[in-house]
Amino acid sequence: MFRDQMRIVNKYVTNKVFRGFASRSRGPFAVMRHVGRRSGKPYETTLMVWHLGEGFVIALTYGSKVDWYRNVVAAGGGTLLWHGRASAIGKPEPIDAKTALTAFPALFRFILRGTGTHEFVWVKASVLEPARA
C-alpha cells in the first residue's frame, strides 16, 4: 500500500522536481521519453540510471508494472536523456541483481537491498548526442 502511494507521489511531484537534474553532467538522474502503448501520447519519466557497459542499468523499484517500463517494452525502446545527452535505447532486458548492483554506488546498493528491490533491467544505448529540449 505504502509503495503504491509513494509511486503516485513520485509520478506527479518528485519526477517534476528531479527532471532538472537530468540535464546536469553528474548524478544518476535521467529522463526516459516513451510513447503510451494504447494512447500513442508521448511521456517523459524521471528515473535514476547507472551506466554499465554499452548501456544503462535501471532498478525497477516499483516492479515491472509501471507505465514507463510497459511502454518501452511494447515499443521496443525509447529515448534516454542523461547528462545533457540523448540516447536511443533498445528494449529493456532483465539483468540479475548481483550483476546489476555492481553498477550502483555503495549507498544505493544498501538502499536497494533494504527496500527489497530485486528487479533490474539493462538497456543498450546508441551513441549519445547533445539533447534537444
* CATH tag for 2-130 (out of 2.10.109.10, 3.40.50.10490, 2.30.110.10, 1.20.1270.360): 2.30.110.10
Predicted local distance difference test score (pLDDT) of residue 85? 86
Predicted local distance difference test score (pLDDT) of residue 38? 93
Predicted local distance difference test score (pLDDT) of residue 19? 60
Q: Which residue has the cell 511502454?
A: 71
**Average pLDDT of adjacent 10-residue blocks, the chain of 133 residues:** 62 61 73 94 92 93 92 96 90 94 92 90 83 61
Cα–Cα distance measured from residue 54 to residue 124, given in angstroms and rounded to the nearest whole number: 6
Q: Which of 63, 20, 25 is nearest to 44 (CA)?
A: 20
30 bridge partner residues: 47, 82
Contact 69, 93 (CB under 8 A): no
Predicted local distance difference test score (pLDDT) of residue 125? 93
Predicted local distance difference test score (pLDDT) of residue 62? 87
Predicted local distance difference test score (pLDDT) of residue 56? 95
Predicted local distance difference test score (pLDDT) of residue 115? 87
